[in-house]
Copies of this chain bind each other. A is one copy, B any other.
């Protein structure tokens, strides 16, 4: 990968934390505590990851049906900072933090008017849709995602730099 100039890197920063999916909080997201139920944040994060892949040209519906490729959540770590309330408008970002042979790590944030509500690291495993066994990420997809991950870190130096969300 060619080394990005500083100007290019600067231009990419907003890209990295860009809201990819946004929603109003509806009754169905809330619970009797008056706040958004905690597992709904994982649902919101799924939407943002799907939109990120879609924006790169990967339709996960087609991938599953035609190429038998599923990305299943392998692990998730999520921290809750402030609760979202009914009728709030929230935004969700997804940044590709690491591309492995058979796994992808996303760093995600849920915000409301720029204020952080929740953040998480979501690791996906690539599996065969028919057997549900782990498989390598198809090479065409992997190359495209590696390029994206590298461009976001502004570094060609490899693994540690590619996972800023873990530091």
Contact = CB atoms under 8 A, between A and B. Distances in A.
A73 B33 CA distance: 12
A142 interface: no
A80 to B, nearest CB: 6
Number of copies: 4
Interface string A65-87: 00000101111111110010111
A27 B71 CA distance: 11
Interface of A is mostly: mixed
Interface in A86-126: 86-88
Given A33-B129, A87-B60, A132-B35, A75 B76 contact: no
A83 B132 contact: yes
A62 interface: yes
Query: Chain A contact residues (Cβ within 8 angstroms of B): what range?
Result: 35 or more
B42 A32 contact: no
A28 B34 contact: no
B73 A38 contact: yes
A75 B78 contact: yes
